[in-house]
């Protein structure tokens, strides 16, 4: 099966600019996750979707971050305006369902550098 697709792979922007990331999960996976991973740390969950509904966005900085999954398939994560501390790898993952005992599959990530 095809894996989780993410684009772009790399992005460099200036602070206060906006940026968007795209993710296409594995076909049939109802649950989609966006993680932020700062260098040297484990991933931090930003938002979790079940189909096209938000299950958990408690750690999403809603004043600057937004995400949507309109048709319950692919998803976009946006940052506006970006800050220096947003420099990180943004990872998208999917799983069959929220309560599935199957594991997560991750995409290759988008490496964001804010200068």
Partner 1 sequence: KQEVTQIPAALSVPEGENLVLNCSFTDSAIYNLQWFRQDPGKGLTSLLLIQSSQREQTSGRLNASLDKSSGRSTLYIAASQPGDSATYLCAVRDSNYQLIWGAGTKLIIKP
Interface residues with partner 1 (CB under 8 A)?
A: 6, 33, 40-43, 45, 56, 89, 91, 93, 98-99, 101-109, 111
Q: Which is closer to partner 1, CB of 82 or CB of 91?
A: 91
> For residue 30, how far is the Cα from the chain centroid?
15
Q: Which is closer to partner 1, CB of 36 or CB of 65?
A: 36
Cβ neighbors of 106 (< 8 A, separation 6 or more) are 4, 91, 92, 93
Minimum Å distance from CB 68 to partner 1? 21
Tokens 């970006």 map to which residue?
82
Q: Which is closer to partner 1, CB of 3 or CB of 16?
A: 3
> For residue 36, how far is the Cα from the chain centroid?
7
Minimum Å distance from CB 88 to partner 1? 11
Residue 84: phi, psi to the nearest 5? -55, -40
Q: Which is closer to partner 1, CB of 70 or CB of 103?
A: 103
Minimum Å distance from CB 39 to partner 1? 9
Cβ neighbors of 62 (< 8 A, separation 6 or more) are none
Minimum Å distance from CB 100 to partner 1? 8
CB 112 within 8 A of CB 86: yes
């Amino acid at each position: 099966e095809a894996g989780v697709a993410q684009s772009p792979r790399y992005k460099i922007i200036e602070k206060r600019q906006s940026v968007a990331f795209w993710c296409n999960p594995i076909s049939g996976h109802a649950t989609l996750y966006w993680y932020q991973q700062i260098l040297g740390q484990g991933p931090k969950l930003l938002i979790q979707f079940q189909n096209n509904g938000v299950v958990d966005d408690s750690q999403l900085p809603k004043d600057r971050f937004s995400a949507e999954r309109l048709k319950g398939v692919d998803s976009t994560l946006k940052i506006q305006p970006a800050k220096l501390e947003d420099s990180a790898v943004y990872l998208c993952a999917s799983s069959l369902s929220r309560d599935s005992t199957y594991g997560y599959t991750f995409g290759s990530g988008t490496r964001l550098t804010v200068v």
